[in-house]
Chains A and B, each alone.
Chain A
């Protein structure tokens, strides 16, 4: 065995690399959605926000030459889409699940519409931190290339967990999610809290999209996202509305998503498409294992319609 061939060891290594690389969009979307759902609203449109974020980040990076400006613009676009969702859902008798589906369709279509000119050209990518400097094996080096956004996502997850627990603002968000009456008694505006929480959640998803188009896979096309935004929403339920658990779950999903290409790279091509369904099967399996019809889920925000 020479330096470039790791044999079957390539599979767990590729899954580790996947956990680092593929998980980043999951981290951003799930942490953002976690905040939104803790305020008592569900945003199913984050899939569309992710795609819009990816498109706008790529377009801005291409035109301006600065990928970080692209990330900022993606966050702003996500913020606007989140605010739009919150604004519409605030109207009486409007269903937030259906509106989320509608905005998902709208944002995806808009991204394809506006992003048509960006499919061919190559935009500058975000840089990475080389954590594999100690190793001489190229695969290990490649696996340990850590993007700055991955680190930022981890920091955001811990920061959100701390803020929800320890700040006045975190308390108001949790109150809006647990009991509208209690929040009103405290003198907090439920509508404004949810507007802010949904907008920030959208901004996080936009950044997650920027990672897709500017780092991995690192290009813009119409098949860029394959349901990551939606899986992240399911993942929040599995993570019981806790930002830190969202982080672990995202890493698990990243690894699952890397199974299929990892097996292919060591020559196992049988059932490539079956293994590519692994993350979806895993999500579904975890939801079946953790949900129960008799009681509402432990840790579920009381005002959240989707889990009642």
Chain B
């Protein structure tokens, strides 16, 4: 009873504390009434059908990039290369889309998704493999891979894949309007959200109900025990990293196929970094990722309104995200301390 309550109470406390800190920052530094700011944020995130659609559109890539951190985290790895996998996944998808031009739309979309997922998967599996077989710290290597990925994207977008007509913002050739992924009927929200939710549910079921999922839990708990049980830890690390990277790569493919229609620097706008936050907030639990991503998507969606109405810098929502991140991590220390003493008596 205490433990279940704790799982709700501790993050709630952390979120409240973050709201207070952020409110203080707004009141003291920017001279803005924090209650007005929070009311505006609610309005910009969940206040109307229009803002709900904006929020859900932003949540879609967050769900998928969060899986890139969450899956390896089940094995005890801290992967933060989500942005790189998303960016390269997007470039690979655009390249596939251009190469398959002329084929039926479904074939093009399938090819793009496959290319994006394979690219993102290989990119993160690289970090996992280096960890497993060379002992290279996966946190640092995955982040370095992100910078390399962004440089590669710039190279391809400005060089081999460049559409000469894109002057102001160098981009690849467009994949064509007919090949775009459409919106969920009755909304402006693209189908990427559905893919993300399905991916989370499938992974949840996989972790919960299969022996492979159980084996991952054993490895995450104690790799030495897992080895003694005869589990091939390296294979699980590679598979989890590949699957996580594939999810982030799919997010890149969706950004190309549902939002931009081509690959360019708009891919690297920070969905990958926010995805890390989503995964940690959800405690790397696939089912919890969906609501957390919607919450974070809402915070992102409300940034514009804060900027327009209160003249706050657009980085205000990044500050709030950072405060929440740190507060949630620090609140880990509260687990087992709120109720345990009472139970013992």
Binding site for B on A (CB under 8 A): 44, 88, 91-95, 97-99, 101-103, 105-110, 112-114, 116, 226-227, 230-231, 233-234, 237, 271, 273-274, 276-277, 280-281, 283-284, 287-288, 291-294, 306-307
Contacts and interface: CB of A to CB of B under 8 A. Distances in A.
A91 B328 CA distance: 13
Given A274-B151, A287-B140, A105 B321 contact: yes
B148 interface: yes
B329 A102 contact: yes
A93 B10 CA distance: 14
Interface in B249-296: 273, 276-277, 280
B98 interface: no
Contact of A105 (B133, B144, B313, B322): B322
Nearest to A289: B134
B110 interface: no
List the 10 closest A-B pairs by CB distance, nearest first.
A106-B322, A109-B318, A112-B315, A277-B151, A102-B325, A91-B333, A293-B135, A273-B155, A273-B154, A116-B313
Given A95-B332, A113-B315, A234-B140, A88 B326 contact: yes
B51 interface: no
Given A106-B326, A287-B136, A291-B134, A280 B148 contact: yes
Given A94-B329, A112-B313, A288-B136, A277 B323 contact: no
Contact of B329 (A44, A95, A237, A288): A95
Contacts of A293: 132-135
A226 B313 contact: no
A292 B144 CA distance: 18
A288 B154 CA distance: 25
A88 B141 contact: no
B183 interface: no
B148 A281 contact: yes
B148 A105 contact: no
9 contacts: A94-B330, A102-B277, A102-B280, A102-B325, A112-B318, A271-B155, A273-B152, A287-B141, A307-B137
Nearest to A45: B326
Given A102-B326, A226-B147, A108 B139 contact: no
B329 A99 contact: yes
A231 B277 contact: no
B145 interface: yes
Interface of B: 29, 78, 80, 130, 132-137, 139-141, 143-145, 147-148, 151-152, 154-155, 158-159, 273, 276-277, 280, 313, 315-316, 318-323, 325-326, 328-330, 332-333, 335
B319 A113 contact: yes
Contacts of A97: 78, 139
A237 B80 CA distance: 18
Given A287-B140, A293-B133, A93 B333 contact: yes
B135 A109 contact: no
A94 B333 contact: yes
B273 A284 contact: no
Given A109-B322, A230-B140, 5 more contacts: A102-B328, A105-B321, A271-B155, A276-B154, A280-B148
The listed residue with most A CB atoms (<10 A of its CB), out of B130, B139, B154, is B139
A212 B15 CA distance: 34
B333 A102 contact: no
Nearest to A237: B137
A231 B320 CA distance: 26
Contact of B152 (A105, A277, A288, A307): A277
B137 A287 contact: yes
A94 B326 contact: no
The listed residue with most B CB atoms (<10 A of its CB), out of A99, A102, A112, A284, is A102
A95 B144 CA distance: 21
B316 A113 contact: yes
A103 B158 CA distance: 33
Nearest to A98: B329
A101 B134 CA distance: 23
B326 A284 contact: no
The listed residue with most B CB atoms (<10 A of its CB), out of A95, A233, A271, A273, is A273
B326 A233 contact: no
B319 A292 contact: no
A110 B147 contact: no
Nearest to A307: B137
Contacts of A93: 332-333, 335
A105 B277 contact: yes
Given A93-B332, A105-B318, A227 B143 contact: yes
A113 B147 contact: no
A108 B140 contact: no
A284 B155 contact: no
Given A112-B315, A114-B29, A280-B147, A92 B134 contact: no
A106 B152 contact: no
